[in-house]
Amino acid sequence: MGIAIADLTVGQTIGTTTVELTRQDLVKYAGASGDFNPIHWNADFAQGVGLPGVIAHGMFTMGAAVQLVTDWIGDPAAVIDYQTRFTKPVLVEDTTAEGTPGAVIEVTGAIGAVDLDNSTARVDLTVTAAGQKVLVKAQAVVRIW
Amino acid sequence: MSINPDLQGRSYPAGPAYTVGREKIREFARAVKATHPSHYDVEAAQNLGHRDLVAPPTFAIIVAQLADAQLISDPDAGIDFSRVVHADQRFIHHRAIVAGDELVAELHVDTVRAMGGGAMITTRSEISTTAGEKTATSTSSLLVRGEEQ
């Protein structure tokens, strides 16, 4: 797969990516995942429960962010452990008429630890939207064959 | 409604099996904007040594949330779904989920901690195939906000 564990050093970046999303993406994720909580598609409902507006599923953000790791390692099955805390919601504006993104998520990954005995590396993801960290302790452990 | 403090330590047996379909893997991958060929192209997945299409790393949430629904809809649990916030999530993959897998999940309520007027509930879904092969452990913390929060 082109990545040798001996070449990895803690702090080394694995890359960066940008995920643009719209309200339609949230509807798609709701359908694909089965999570139809209206806070992810109905503004009145979201505001009624005290949110500033429609927010992305935390699991959408978690799922989209790990793509950086999958592409870097070359096989989604290499991700053997993936965790995060959801700290801030990703507010998604209704841009249906404009066709522009309703939110933009920035993802950066860096090597957080290397375990030569188990042939694994931990990638620490920094995930932000509107200048705020939306995931905290977002860590993916990959097995390197 | 208030959270039943006796929930901690409770388990819910596996419900009906969930069959992982190729089109569901493709749909889920598109929904999280994952572009890796092994989610879409059987030959690409097999070239990496997999039996069939590989599910994205967070795909197991589908099965885990079906298991969580047993708890949330249990009238004895006292959980108001509209007040539930997903606080954290972890997947440990014992092996990758691939198309054709028949999955079942046994749900365990690991901890219940009172927080303000609400509670933080940590659930663990042990996901395996119907043949008994362990595939994934999904751990979720759900914050149930109190009435005044």
Q: How confident is the model at residue A138 (pLDDT cuts 50, 70, 90)?
A: very high
Q: Report the candidate in B96, B129, B99 with the shortest Cα–Cα distance to residue B17.
A: B129
* Confidence band, pLDDT 50/70/90 cuts, at residue B118: confident
**Lowest model confidence (mean pLDDT) among A41-45, A94-98, A116-120, B74-78:** B74-78
Task: Please say if the pLDDT value at position A113 is more than 90.
Answer: yes
To the nearest whole angstrom, how far is the Cα of B87 from the nearest Cα of chain A?
5
Can you tell me the mean pLDDT for A86-106? 95
Residues A112/A68/A108/A19 CA torsion (nearest 10 deg): -150
Question: What proportion of chain B, given as a percentage, has pLDDT over 90?
Answer: 78
Which residue on chain A is closest to B83 by alpha carbon? Answer: A49
pLDDT, residue A145, reads 77
Residue range B112-129: mean pLDDT, rounded: 93
Q: How far apart are CA B95 and CA B90, in angstroms?
A: 15
Contacts of A80 (CB under 8 A, 6+ apart): A120, A141, A142, A143, B92, B93
* pLDDT of the residue at A58: 97
Q: Which amino acid is at A89?
A: P
Distance of CA B29 to the CA centre of its chain: 16
Residue of chain B minimizing CA distance to A37: B82
Which one-letter amino acid corresponds to residue A62?
M
pLDDT at A114 over 90: yes
Q: Does residue B148 surpass a pLDDT of 80?
A: no
- The CATH number assigned to the domain with range A5-21+57-143 reads 3.10.129.10
**Among the partner residues B33, B93, B139, nearest to A79 by beta-carbon distance:** B93
**Distance between CA B98 and CA B92 in Å, rounded?**
15
Domain ranges of chain A: 5-21+57-143
Alpha-carbon distances of B13 from A48, A98, B63, B94, rounded to whole Å: 35, 48, 13, 20
Instruction: State residue A5's pLDDT score.
Output: 93
pLDDT surpasses 70 at A123? yes
Q: Which residues of A touch B36 (CB under 8 A)?
A: 67, 70-71, 75-76
CA distances for B90 relative to A58, A66, A138, B110, B111, angstroms: 12, 13, 9, 14, 15
A17: its two tokens: 């990516």
**Distance between CA B94 and CA B127 in Å, rounded?**
10
The β-bridge partners of A122 are: A113, A141
Confidence of residue B1 (pLDDT cuts 50, 70, 90): low
Lookup: tokens for B1: 């409604």
Per-residue pLDDT, B80? 84
Nearest chain B Cα distance for residue A8, angstroms: 22
Report which of A11, A22, A18 is spatially closest to residue A107, judged by C-alpha positions: A18
Mean pLDDT of B111-136: 94
Closest-CA distance of chain A to residue B7, Å: 23
CB distance B83 to A45 below 8 Å: no
Cα separation, A41 vs A26, whole angstroms:
7
Rounded Cα gap, residues B18 and B21, in angstroms: 9
Check whether A1 has a pLDDT greater than 70: no
Q: Model confidence over B80-102: pLDDT tens digits?
A: 887 888 999 999 999 999 999 99
Q: Is the pTM of this model over 0.90?
A: yes
- Inform me whether the pLDDT recorded for A50 exceeds 60: yes
Do B90 and A75 lie within an 8 Å CB cutoff?
Answer: no
Q: What percent of chain B has pLDDT over 70?
A: 97
DSSP-derived 3-state class of residue B12? strand
Who wins on pLDDT, B147 or B49?
A: B49
A94-127 CB burial, b ≥16 within 10 A, e <16 = eeeeeeebbbebbbbbbbeebeeeeebbbbbbeb
